[in-house]
């Protein structure tokens, strides 16, 4: 089964070992937007994956 973008985002956050709140702050979005991304309620912009690919503690 092909992974959805929200599954990929969940995996990425897990691999980076960061919380939804930390990711939201880094991306400049609300925590509610982050939950919408993760639930599949809204489409995740490709820039989210690009920005998180350069995330450092």
pLDDT digit string (tens) for 8-51? 999 999 999 999 999 999 999 999 999 999 999 999 999 999 99
Q: Is the pLDDT of residue 57 over 80?
A: no
In this prediction, residue 1 carries a pLDDT of 83
In this prediction, residue 56 carries a pLDDT of 79
Domain that residue 12 falls in:
5-53
- Whose tokens are 């092909």? That residue is 2
Q: Is 20 helix (H, G, I), strand (E, B) or coil?
A: helix
- Number of domains the chain is built from: 1
Whether this model's pTM surpasses 0.95: no
């Amino acid at each position: 089964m092909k992974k959805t973008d929200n599954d990929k985002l969940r995996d990425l956050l897990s691999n980076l070992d960061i919380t939804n709140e930390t990711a939201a702050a880094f991306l400049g979005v609300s925590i509610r937007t982050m939950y919408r991304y993760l639930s599949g309620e809204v489409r995740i912009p490709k820039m989210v994956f690009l920005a998180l690919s350069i995330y450092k503690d």
